[in-house]
Every structure is written in C-alpha cells, then in structure tokens.
Structure 1
Amino acid sequence: MLPTFYSALTGLRAHATGLNVVGNNLANINTAGFKRGTINFSQLMVNQVGNNNGAVNPMQFGLGTRTESISPAFFQGAISRSGNNTNLALQGEGFFQVSDGTDIAYTRAGNFTFDRNGELKSSNGWAVLGYTQVDADGNVVRSGTPAPLTIDFEEPSPPRATQTVRYITNLSSETETGGDFQTNIDIWDDTGQKRRLNLTFTKDEAVNAWSYQFTTDEGTVVDGTGTVTFDAQGRLATLNGVDINDPAITNPTINVTGLPADAEGNTPGDLSFNWDLVEFISQPDGTITNDSYLTNFSGFSTNGTFFQDGFGSGDLNRIEFMQDGTMLGFFSNGETHALGAVAVANFNNREGLRQIDSNFYEATAASGEAFFAENNGGTVIFGGALESSNVDIADEFTDLIIHQRGYQSNSKSVTTADQILQEILGLKR
C-alpha cells in the first residue's frame, strides 16, 4: 500500500499548488494588466510491472501527478477609461518596456505618470522606454534602442512668422469718392511678437475703383499700396491693373521692415507675407477660374472672417497619446507637436516570460529576445485608459472547488490506505 501514500501525497501537493494559483488570481482581480495564472498537471508512471518480452500489453500503474506548468493566460482584458491621459492600455500582444536604469522588464500595466523631471514612470518608479527623436517633418523616428521618455514642461512651442493674411471684405458700392474703410489684424514676427497690421481702402473717382494701403503701428510697409476695380455685379475685375482672369495674375506680397526689438532685445527679421486676395479654383475639366474674397456690393462696408497663419510661442497645456503610441503635446498657441512615442515590445513565445514583482515580466531563453515590429506588431494603444485584469470570478471559484475537492479526495486516499495497513498489521493477532 505504500505507493498509494506516495500517489496521494503528489496529488495533495499538486492541488495545494493549484489553490495557490487560484488564490493569487483572486488577489489580483483588480490589478491593471494582470494575466490570470493557469496550472497544468501531468501523470507520473511506473515504467513496468512484472517481466515480459514486449509481446504482451504493458502492465503499469501510476505514481500520482506533478505540476507540469504554471503560466499566464495572455488573453485580452477589458479596457476601461481612467480619466488620466498618461494611463495607457494595450489591445494586442505587445508589452510596454520599462527600466530601472540597470534591468529591463515588460508589462501590460499602463498606469504611468510623469514625475517632476518630466520622465514618464510606471507606478513603482521604473522609466517607461520609447523613442524621443523627432525629424524635421515632425514625425517620431522609431529606430534604435528605446530610451526613457522625457519631456521638458518649460520648453515652449516656437513662434512662426505670418506668411499669409486673408480678409473677407465687402466695400460698399454706395461709398462716395474719397470715402474709406479701415480694418486691422494682428500678425506675428519671427521672434513671436504680435504686430498690428492696418489696411485702408479709399474710394477713387473712377467707377467701382478703390485704392488700398497697408500700414503698421511699428516698422515700415514696403510695396503695400495698389488698386482694385470691380465689375457691375460687384465682383473683383482687376488687381493692380491686371485682369483677374489673366493667367499671370498673382496675389500681392507685402513686406514690413524696420521692426523694433522686443523686451528681451531680440530684433526680428523683415516680414514678408502673401495677401490672399484672389482665390484660384480648379474646375473638373482642368481649367482654373478665379474668384476673390473682396466684393463691392451695396449696403455697408464690412468685414467677415479674418485669417493669418502666424503665431507666437506657446506653453505646453496637455499630453495625449495616439493609437500608435505617439505622444502629442498641445500648446497654448494652438500648435500640436509629436514629442516622442512609447515602445511596444513583442516576443515569439510570451508564455516563456518570467513573472516578477509589480506585474512585470523578464525575458528568458524560452521567451526569446524582445523585438519591435513595424506598426507595433498590430498592437493598439489607448490613451487615458487601462487594461483590466482578465481574471473571471466564476472561473476562479469553479477552479477553487475543483482543487478543493481534489485535495479532499487525495487526503481520503491517505486515510483509506492507512486503514488497510492497520488491517494488515492486525493479521498477526
């Protein structure tokens, strides 16, 4: 009966381990990115009972069971909104890569925040790794070894000098000769200083003819004067003597020189911008017809929409992440810049990863080295969200009952074997 004791003992050990796995799963039911553990058993066998020459069926019996494997189940957990833009959730097979400066680990838990130095950190203080180089076109360069993602909260978005201005304006056809209409718009120089640009239209003696003049409160406007005429329907007919439908017509270029330095002593360069007056419209047949943002209808002289494409420097207002992991900075001047991207690692064998504290994993010989696939290997990143634990209470309670009954059954085997041995020992009486 001794083998019965050993078989039951292996069963007790295996199901006790199973209860540990279930208990750990239930303990992490609310752990972000946690993957439930699964346990598998395998049978232990005696090679042969008795002697035979192989011509008859083998005679064998089992010696119990053993724990064959305990591995995480990497199926997708539910994604829920967290309200924190720096929290990230993965949908797919990838992992975030983190480092403490010496070791590298991988995790599905994206509960990240920026520290006071602008470094993106995991909940236990490890640095989140990614790509920090941005090319001249504003695209993140996803190559090389991932490095800690860091931003400078104090670094502003650079200014841009105005290159185009546009006014949607109606000059009243009822204006008498010598009457004028004035308007102004703020433009920006290359140091980020706002400058006031003035535009005055004056009614000429000729029918439907006006002259215009640009001025500034600071500096000198060069090539800022000209004339416009309108047809009987109030549409622009000529610009500086050139017919609006002449293929050679171009919009005026306005130059401003002699702008004074700003309060910090930065002297701006000369401003040169395009007055977007004539609208060139491509037709389906390939021809181009011209229209204008300037009209000469009856009623009041008035302005509609203003437009200019310059802006001053801007402070960082908030951070958001795109689904490809790109980290975007939104600035107070209306600009949006890519500041970097989180790295998403993949493995040939995820089940070969070794679990460590803080819901992290380490690469092993079984998992293979991490690799970074194009388009993150199909993994999608959701900003402002977290992946929930994939533990299901119903499944765990079912497994709990199964392991409990397995443990009880094996303990019953021990009791029964003990009773039989007691009977055998009693035969001597």
Structure 2
Amino acid sequence: MLDSINVGMSGLLGFSRGLRVIGNNTANMNTPGYKSATLQFTDLFYANQANGTEGRTQLGQGLGTAGTTLDFRAADLRQSGNEFDLGIDGGGFFVLRDEQGRTRYTRAGQFDFDQEGRFINRIDGSQVMGLDAGGNLVAISIAGMRAIGGQATRNVRFTGNLSATTPEQTVGSVKVYDAMGGEHTLSVKFTNTGTTTPGSWKVQLLDGSSVVGTTQMVFVDGRPTAATSKFAFTYTPAGRESQELTLDFSSDVTSFASGSLSTLAMTSQDGSPPGQLTKVTFDSQGTLVATYSNNRTARGARLALARFDTTDAVEDLGSNQFGEANGIAWKLGYAGDGVFGSVKAGVLEVSNVDLSREFSELVVMQRGYQASSQVVSTANEMLQELFQMKGGK
C-alpha cells in the first residue's frame, strides 16, 4: 500500500509541475518574444516481482518529468509605437552582448539608442550587435554619425524652353555647393548666334560678372544635339579647390519660338550643405540608415542574426534571452540571407502562447491531479482497514 501512495504522490508532484509550466506560459501571454514551454512526462522504472507459476510481474514506480521543451515557432508581429523596436519576419535571433562580454540571443527586439549613441536592449542595457564584412561581431552605434559634411555639386540639370526668338536670355539663381558645403549662386547666359549658325547659342557660365567658361549650344528641330546637350566647366569658388560642374540640358529642354518669354530654369543639382541627423531606422536587411537635414542618407552597420541547428544548443536564460549550451556554437548571418528572415522596424514579436491549448492542457493536469489524489486516498483507506483488522485480533 505504501508503494501505491508513493506512486500517487509522484503523480501529484508531476501534475503540479505541469500546472506550474502552464501557469508560466499563461502569465507570459503578453510578453514580447516569449516562447511557450511544454513539460515532458515519463514513467519511472519498473520493479520485477515473482508471481509464482505465472512468471514475473512488472510494477511501475510512478510518474517522472524529463524537463521542458520550448516551442520556437515564430509569432505575430504587431506595431509597438517605437520606431527602434525590431521584429524578425522569418527565422533568426537578434544577437546581444552584456557588460560581461557574454553573447545572448533573443526574438524580443525591444531596442533603443542610449545617450552615447549605442544601440541597446532596453530591458538590460546589453548591446545589440552587428556583423562586419569579415564575419566579426561589432557594436551598432550612431556615434560619429550625428552630422554629415557638405557635398560638392557635380551635375546641374535644366528643363524648360529657351525662346528661339529672343536675342539673349540669362538663367539666374543657379545654386551650387563647394566641397565644404558652402553655397554659391551662379548664372548661365545664352546669346543667340542663329544669324551665323541656325539654332546656335553662345553659352556662358557666370559667377557674378566673372566668366567661368564659354561654350556653344546647337538646337535642331527645337532639341539640343547630343554633342551639345551637356557641358563641363571647371569652377573655382573663392578660397576653395576647383571642382568640375556639368550643366545638363539633355532632357526636357527645347528651343521654340515664344516671343521674349523663356521658361528655361535649373531644376536640380546633386550638391548639398552640411546636415544634422534627423532620423535613424533599419531597412529590411537590417542595415542602419541615417537621414540628415540636407536630405542625404548614410548607411551604417548591419544587424547580426543567429540561428541554431539543434535545440541541444539552446539554454533558456530568462528575460526572453537564450545562450549557447553544450558547447554548440550558433551560426551567424544577415537578415534576408539564406534561412534568415527580414527585419521590420516599429514592430515587436508577441508571445507564441496558444491560450486554447494551454486551457486544454490545464484540464488534463487538473484531472490527472485529481486522479492521483484519489489513488493516495484509496491506498490510505485500505491501510486503515488493515490496521483495524490487526487491532481486532
């Protein structure tokens, strides 16, 4: 009878552990990146007892637990309202490194930049890691990226109609930038030389009243010829180094009769003044993209993603973080490459806890616990009957 009580007690202990696992899953139903666990049950060893002429009988010793297994299935991605929160659409884990230099892995991308510009995990301050071209883990940071220098203008594009009947036309407000980002206003003067060559114009690039350069432009059937649709000038701003300027008239520039009215004007140029950082985000491949006040962008480090080949390589460390186990290294890569999923900004992966399944398991655990307690009660009653029989003699 005592063996029966022990068997029943093993059931009570096992099902109470199962209830605890279910309770932990349910409590973390809203924890970002949480992976649900399942308790594994196993029967205990059997004892052989002689049974006369009928041979030997194997009697079990009750219920045992063999640890928990984690469900690593990806969960839904939901908007978080924080532009630096990241989610992985597909396989992979973000890579973290704590203050002790230990590497950790997580699906919960609750990230932000600290005052020093480091990209960190908001939960524990560990650094989010990237991967350089050599396959080495590097910290992701915007330190040194808060400002960007100016960019010298190389190409200036024009569109519009240069009236074929006007003797002279000047296009002003041609703003360009030098290598230091300084702004300069130039002008382009067109002088009609069609009396000698039909459709021809003398073109002068002017810096104030100083002539930077002179060339010839020819229109045929109202369109500039391919040979005279682009002009390169060497421009030397005051106190700055020389730079090449290309004036581009090759697209949407015409010369038709329109009296004294010309609509020819500069529409774009590729230079820029210095700029300050205005926005930071990550693209689908996990690359940091910085946007500046001068509309330029710069690309920084690329996020590292990790994966494992077997669950034997995974140790659950809590706080939605995992580590390497049994000396089995995880594999590193980039978002969007091979088996790794793409990165999405402004979202978080929710818990993959399935409440319907948890409640169903809860009923099973409850019934199992009730049945085990009934075994203990029945064995106890039978022992009492035995004691009463001995007392009656």
TM-score by length of 1: 0.83
- Whichever residue aligns with residue 234 of structure 2, its letter is N
Instruction: Quickly say closer, same or farther: Cα 1:172–1:14, change in 2 above 3 A.
Output: same
Corresponding residue to 1:149 among 134, 140, 151: 140
Aligned-partner SS, 2:81: coil
For residues 214-267 of structure 1, the C-alpha deviation after alignment (integer angstroms, 9 at most, x for no partner) is 11249x554x21233434x4333xxxxxxx366xx673211112x234xxxxxx
The runs of 5 or more residues in structure 1 that have no matched partner are: 132-140, 237-243, 262-267, 280-291
Shift of 1:309: 1.3
Aligned to 2:31: 31
Going by fraction, where is strand more abundant, 1 or 2?
2
Q: Any conservation in 2 of the 1:46–1:62 contact (CA below 8 Å)?
A: yes
Cα distance in 2 for residues equivalent to 1:204 and 1:250: 17
Q: Any conservation in 2 of the 1:278–1:293 contact (CA below 8 Å)?
A: yes
Corresponding residue to 2:238 among 230, 235, 260: 260
Aligned to 2:57: 59
Instruction: Quickly say closer, same or farther: Cα 1:57–1:310, change in 2 above 3 A.
Output: farther
Instruction: Quickly say closer, same or farther: Cα 1:205–1:415, change in 2 above 3 A.
Output: closer
Aligned to 2:257: 297
Cα distance in 2 for residues equivalent to 1:36 and 1:322: 29
Aligned-partner SS, 1:59: strand
Shift of 1:99: 1.6
- Whichever residue aligns with residue 310 of structure 2, its letter is N
Alignment of 1:346-357 (within 5 A): 346-350=307-311, 352-357=313-318
- Whichever residue aligns with residue 9 of structure 2, its letter is L
Aligned to 2:42: 42
Corresponding residue to 1:234 among 222, 230, 233: 222
Q: Any conservation in 2 of the 1:208–1:230 contact (CA below 8 Å)?
A: yes
Aligned-partner SS, 1:180: strand
The worse-fitting range, judged by mean Cα deviation, of 342-351 and 295-304 is 295-304
Instruction: Quickly say closer, same or farther: Cα 1:251–1:91, change in 2 above 3 A.
Output: closer
Aligned to 2:189: 200
Matched, 1:216 2:187: no
Q: Any conservation in 1 of the 2:15–2:368 contact (CA below 8 Å)?
A: yes
Matched, 1:182 2:180: no
Aligned-partner SS, 1:190: coil
Aligned-partner SS, 2:308: coil
Matched, 1:391 2:356: no
Alignment of 1:25-424 (within 5 A): 25-50=25-50, 59-102=57-100, 103-122=102-121, 123-131=123-131, 141-152=132-143, 155-175=146-166, 177=167, 179-204=168-193, 206=195, 207-217=198-208, 221-222=211-212, 224-231=213-220, 233-236=221-224, 244=225, 251-257=230-236, 259-261=237-239, 268-278=240-250, 293-299=253-259, 300-303=261-264, 306-350=267-311, 352-365=313-326, 368-373=328-333, 375=337, 377-424=339-386
Aligned-partner SS, 1:296: coil
The runs of 5 or more residues in structure 2 that have no matched partner are: none
Aligned-partner SS, 2:343: strand
The worse-fitting range, judged by mean Cα deviation, of 268-277 and 303-312 is 303-312
Shift of 1:350: 3.2
Identity of aligned residues (%): 30
TM-score by length of 2: 0.90
- Whichever residue aligns with residue 210 of structure 1, its letter is W
Instruction: Quickly say closer, same or farther: Cα 1:245–1:71, change in 2 above 3 A.
Output: closer
Cα distance in 2 for residues equivalent to 1:274 and 1:215: 14
Q: Any conservation in 2 of the 1:201–1:212 contact (CA below 8 Å)?
A: yes
- Whichever residue aligns with residue 114 of structure 1, its letter is F
Equivalent pairs, count: 384
- Whichever residue aligns with residue 350 of structure 1, its letter is T
Aligned-partner SS, 1:118: coil
Instruction: Quickly say closer, same or farther: Cα 1:217–1:377, change in 2 above 3 A.
Output: farther
Q: Any conservation in 2 of the 1:46–1:60 contact (CA below 8 Å)?
A: yes
